[in-house]
Chains A and B, each alone.
Chain A
Amino acid sequence: MTFAGWLQIAIFIGLVVALARPLGFYLTRTLDGSLPGTAAIERPLFRLAGVDPREEQGWLGYALALLAFNLAGMLVLFFLQRLQWYLPFNPAGMTGVPADLAFNTAASFVTNTNWQNYGGETTLSHLSQMAGLTVQNFVSAATGIGVAAALIRGFSRTSAKKVGNFWADLTRVTLFILMPISVVIALAFVALGMPQTLAGSIDATTLEGARQTIALGPVASQEAIKLLGTNGGGFFNVNSSHPFENPTAMANLIQVLAIFALGAALTNVFGRAVGDERQGWALLAAMGILFVAGVTITYWAEASGNPLVHALGVDGANMEGKELRFGPALTALFAVVTTAASCGAVNAMHDSFIPLGGLIPMLNMQLGEIIVGGVGAGIYGMLIFVLVAIFIAGLMVGRTPEYVGKKIEAREVKLAMLAILALPLAMLGFTAIAVVLPNAVASIANPGPHGFSEILYAYTSGAANNGSAFAGLSGNTPWFNMTIGFAMLMGRFLIIIPALAIAGSLAAKKTIPASAGSFPTHSGLFVGLLVGVILIVGGLTFFPALALGPVVEHLAMLAGQTF
């Protein structure tokens, strides 16, 4: 570990914190519909769609609208892939995508996962890419922010029946948040040397005289929303480790910032909504502590390198699967950011990490992508953990637990536990079945605990809607296409529905003024408590699985055995 490495990590954290407040202000105004000048743009669209943005919905109405929209999106995406042979914009003459893969890909993009079991350039037509995937990159992110907005309204409203209008939230987030910021980021990327062209590939002659085909395309625009919307589906197969997809250290910094920016700002939106920005900072602090701990462990593991390699006389960090340009610090940072935030873009191969270094990305996802998290998904996931933490701890001060003036009672606890159960069910359940199916085990590349980690990582990444792959696993089989597809849908909607139900239940409650008897939820004590509950409840769930994967592999490595 080097000073320069830590300095880069510190600069990144400083920028995230600095951006949270101004972006939080901007998001708040956008979601209110009170951003100057936007009314003129949105009004004709709403009129065309027959939506009155002031006509709010109850939680159930909001949830049904959301589910209908996502179901429609999924069907469109599925049939676009299946029928692409008959549709225009298919210059390469791609044939219809097999049903299982089409299902997997549709689920993947609708759930903001961007798990890619397909090879983009060899499977999909331009129409499928543009009208299918790219559209979902925007609207799946907007869906997540919409759910967060509804839940935040649940906390901030008093004796209310409505939690917002899904169509209004979706439109405003897409038009006034995701699109403009994406344009800015894309331009910055272009300035840093990222290609943005509709031209095809270039044939080049290398120094050795060999001919090489260099693929080009509208990379910068795709990159911007890939990161900002925590989508993660890259233009090139190797994602952000490709020099065109992540050309410089500055581009790398912008990338990690773009991943965290909206998620971190949503904590500020929450703080503003409940009338006390410190509440938002407390949530961000809890996320920050878990984040820094993760970066430290991964950076330390990668920088320490592999003792077995050291024994061969090769000193230094573990550089297998890493870009030399980024080194262990920026690689560790990127890996932790992308898994903490449900993005799934990678600038290195997580499969090649030291086992302990690879454990952190996995644990980040297993905790539910709440460390800043996916856009929207991070804050609603975190707020669900807050409810559990508050319920346990609040009792210890001798009162019915309350958070930002809302009493946490049986209904909220039930819904929060349902949401928390969704992830272990999908991650552990599918893994348990897959590791004993010869058909599925045949897909793994390495034996022993490492192979186990590959399968566990795949379902973890899917259910957490992350989309990063551990590599090594050949996922494009009917079994994995179907089960990972289900895992993604479970991890998305089995949390969204309880989260919206909680929003409805909280909105209907009175807001109780704080007193000396209710303990302050903006204090360091609360932050510590929250971190403790997340680690214990989240960690205990996955302890046996992790022990049999990365932990045993790490211990074996220390004992001189690799897999």
Chain B
Amino acid sequence: MSKPQTSLFAPSIVGPAIGMAFAKLDPRAMMKNPVMFVVEVIAILTTVLFLRDFVGGGGAKLGFSFQIVLWLWFTLLFANFAEAVAEGRGKAQAETLRATRSTTTAKRLIEAENHDLYEGIAAEDLEVGDLVVADAGDVIPGDGEVVWGVASVNEAAITGESAPVIRESGGDRSAVTGGTTVISDRLIIRITSARGNSFLDRMIGLIEGAERQKTPNEIALNILLVGLTLIFVLAVATIPSFAAYAGGTIGVIALAALFVTLIPTTIGALLSAIGIAGMDRLVRFNVLAMSGRAVEAAGDVDTLLLDKTGTITLGNRQATEFRPVSGVTEHELADAAQLASLADETPEGRSIVVLAKEKHGLRERDMVSLGATFVPFTAQTRMSGVDMGDSAIRKGAVDAVLSHVGAPAPRKLTVGAPAPVVEVPETVREVRAMAEEVGKAGGTPLAVAKDGRLLGVITLKDIVKGGIRERFAELRRMGIRTVMITGDNPMTAAAIAAEAGVDDFLAEATPEAKLALIREEQAKGKLVAMCGDGTNDAPALAQADVGVAMNTGTVAAREAGNMVDLDSDPTKLIEVVEIGKQLLMTRGSLTTFSIANDVAKYFAIIPAMFAVIYPQLGTLNVMGLATPESAILSAIIFNALIIVALIPLALRGVKYKAIGAGALLRRNLAVYGLGGLVVPFIGIKLIDIAITAIGLA
């Protein structure tokens, strides 16, 4: 994470949030949250009843009624506060982004061909298809595609990473983001996002919660909560009639208190905060989701497609081993290989020099002082090396080097023809055997020869990233299958797949094969996540349920995906999945907690409510609450305070651990299910003691 974490309750967030909590009491806003809207209706109703009694001077227990009404309003305010804090945290991030946006002036080309003739225009007024110029020092006015030029761009404004990146026309690095700054050179950019619809705008909208739409799972959960609320309407609304049969009456205030404590206010109050916080966590991870739906889908992912290069392995192959033929020492081979690679600037060549130094203490030597000339690699020779005086060292593809030393090519036997009498030297056979071995292990063999004499083979291998194996094991425990995508041949791919511990691989992958694989998985009912950056990834990104486009990628790729990773780090897909799961888990856990709470609330309120009619029900007062009034008041105070107490959990999310679904459920059920049963018994009792002590009831 590249951005500093603001503490959950920083004064800069809490202050405005308190104000917002009142503003959000507007019934039109409350309507979006059915459970809390019901609470508001009840609060208004009880307030009117209280005022009537107050003005009329009638009604005993005015103090009690007043306190209940007050806590009903507090319940609402706490719920609004939770949402406001979640939004406030997002806003804090959005502010900095917005600052860059509003001050930008764009240089719009008047004629497409003339790069020096442009007009100044406010960035907001740009339209899709406009061509703009960005010189060194200019802020890029909007999302677009580089159509001309190459330049280094500072994208710290959105990625938080200060090292500049290269953006150029054509290829896979042509996309630029509004708000970033050109550091050198000049770019001509075609604007691709309409005003108010750039990445920046969407990001601001999403993290502020303004554009937040309810996700499918949130809708389903809301239906459940509404259903439970209706059940409790039936349970509570029938009580007055039951009481009338028994010859008593129940006050509306007490009924309102029972009803509000029973309906799932805890989860109802925190539901939207959980959703906003999930989006916010993603942004803190420098991943921008185009919708909340995508974040939720991430939690459901069954199959993860990962590119080999850069995700599973380090970018380039590296030398890992010198394998001399018999009669040659390893040191001798290393020495020759190092000499041949001194001037070789390819990553493979550098890695040979590094390996020679690490394993055999061979320092880098100066080519000039050795009087050596470098023989570069060509497609014809498929070898490189050095010539020093009359000595020549060559390294390269095994058959190229073998033919260089004049080894006979292996021939097919022809039926009827006399067996060819060709003496194959021992060393040649040895080198061939070693090459085959290296290939089988997923490596690439390079043969080394000095003055026509074979010395041995260098093993080049893809280096699997450290710790990646453990990550895949973790994913497996999460129930996610990993598939490695690579252009390598199946043999090499299999070896790397085994080393990295992925579940499956797709070798010699083409964009079509990728797309086909995704469709195949989806046909089996699985959700697929992948990341990609190239234009040829776009169809697959669009097809995948979660498509994470790299920020360095092309416009096509970014449009096709439903998330953009601003750091362009493909391994982040794993974190994205975890954030999705965390979001769902937090919702489930708080729902369970909320429902389990009801048991204690019944035991607090039912005996208190019927105390006059059936004193025998006092036996159910297992908490030993002081008086009927204190019991009802304690329950409603607990109900309100638990919302505040759970805000940090709602914002941080329930911790996800890859321990398998069964174990996870057991843990969460123990914490939030059993906890939800027990905590309110203790909490209500403590509140009862407190309010009795200070004489509130």
Contacts and interface: CB of A to CB of B under 8 A. Distances in A.
Contacts of A544: 235-236, 238-239, 242, 602, 606
14 contacts: A393-B669, A400-B296, A414-B220, A428-B238, A429-B238, A431-B242, A516-B477, A516-B478, A516-B479, A540-B232, A544-B239, A544-B602, A551-B620, A552-B616
A392 B592 contact: yes
B223 A417 contact: yes
Interface residues of B, number: 72
Nearest to B616: A555
Nearest to A553: B616
B242 A398 contact: no
Contacts of A545: 235, 238, 242
Contacts of B596: 536
Contacts of B223: 410, 413-414, 417
A512 B525 contact: yes
A525 B526 contact: no
Contacts of A541: 231-232, 234-235
Interface residues of A, number: 64
B398 to A, nearest CB: 43
Contact of A393 (B592, B614, B617, B660): B592
B302 A515 contact: yes
B587 interface: yes
B587 A395 contact: yes
Contacts of A556: 614, 616
Interface string A342-356: 000000000000000
B570 to A, nearest CB: 21
A559 interface: yes
A436 B220 contact: no
B299 interface: yes
Contacts of A424: 231, 234-235
Interface in A507-563: 510-513, 515-520, 523, 525, 529, 532, 536-537, 540-545, 547-548, 551-552, 555-556, 559
Contacts of B525: 158, 405, 510-513
A199 interface: no
A513 B525 CA distance: 7
Interface of B: 216-217, 219-221, 223-224, 226-228, 230-232, 234-239, 241-246, 262, 296, 299-300, 302, 476-481, 524-526, 580-582, 584-585, 587-589, 591-592, 595-596, 598-599, 602, 606, 610, 614, 616-617, 619-620, 656, 660-662, 664-666, 668-669, 672-673
A291 interface: no
Nearest to A398: B581
Nearest to B476: A516
A548 B614 contact: yes
A435 B668 contact: no
B231 A398 contact: no
Contacts of B665: 393, 396-397, 519, 525, 529
A519 B662 contact: yes
A540 B94 CA distance: 44
A399 interface: yes
The 10 closest A-B pairs by CB, nearest first: A517-B479, A395-B588, A398-B581, A417-B227, A519-B661, A515-B479, A432-B238, A516-B479, A510-B525, A396-B588
A397 B231 contact: no
Nearest to B668: A396
Given A399-B479, A544-B235, 10 more contacts: A392-B592, A393-B665, A398-B656, A400-B300, A413-B221, A417-B224, A424-B235, A432-B237, A536-B599, A552-B617
Interface of A: 158, 388, 391-400, 405, 408-410, 413-414, 417-418, 420-421, 424-425, 428-429, 431-433, 435-436, 441, 448-449, 452, 510-513, 515-520, 523, 525, 529, 532, 536-537, 540-545, 547-548, 551-552, 555-556, 559
A413 B617 contact: no
A435 B220 contact: no
Contacts of A536: 595-596, 598-599
Given A398-B656, A409-B220, A435 B669 contact: no
B245 A452 contact: yes
Given A400-B584, A544-B242, A395 B217 contact: yes
B203 to A, nearest CB: 25
B606 A547 contact: yes
A54 B223 CA distance: 37
A515 B480 contact: yes
A413 B218 CA distance: 12
Nearest to B577: A398
A398 B580 contact: yes
B477 to A, nearest CB: 6
A158 B524 CA distance: 10
Given A396-B669, A400-B299, A435 B585 contact: no
A512 B523 CA distance: 9
A493 to B, nearest CB: 19
Which of B224, B585, B664, B672 lies at the interface centre, i.e. has the most chain A CB atoms within 10 A of its CB? B224
Contacts of B662: 519-520, 523, 525
Which of B234, B598, B606 lies at the interface centre, i.e. has the most chain A CB atoms within 10 A of its CB? B234
Which of A395, A428, A435, A544 lies at the interface centre, i.e. has the most chain B CB atoms within 10 A of its CB? A395
B234 A429 contact: yes
A515 B662 CA distance: 11
A481 to B, nearest CB: 21
Contacts of B672: 396
Contacts of B302: 512, 515, 517
Contacts of A552: 610, 614, 616-617
Given A400-B299, A541-B231, A519 B242 contact: no
A555 B246 CA distance: 15
Contacts of A519: 661-662, 664-665
Contact of B526 (A158, A432, A512): A512
Nearest to B231: A541
A545 B584 CA distance: 35
B234 A393 contact: no
Contacts of A410: 216, 219-220, 223
B478 A517 contact: yes
B503 to A, nearest CB: 11
Contact of A391 (B224, B232, B234): B224
A490 B233 CA distance: 18
A548 B610 contact: yes
B661 A520 contact: yes
A392 B478 contact: no
B416 to A, nearest CB: 56
A543 B602 contact: yes
B581 to A, nearest CB: 3
A518 B299 CA distance: 11
A428 B581 CA distance: 39
Contact of B217 (A400, A405, A432, A441): A400
B584 A395 contact: yes
Contacts of B584: 395, 398-400
Contacts of A418: 227
B227 A421 contact: yes
A532 B665 CA distance: 14
A155 to B, nearest CB: 14
A393 B584 CA distance: 10
Nearest to A559: B616
Contacts of A515: 302, 479-481
A540 B227 contact: no
Contacts of B589: 395-396
Nearest to A411: B220
Nearest to B598: A540
A523 B228 CA distance: 27
Given A424-B235, A536-B598, A513 B524 contact: yes
Contacts of A511: 525
B482 to A, nearest CB: 12
A542 B599 CA distance: 12
A540 B234 contact: no
Contacts of B246: 448-449, 452, 548
Contact of B591 (A395, A449, A518): A395
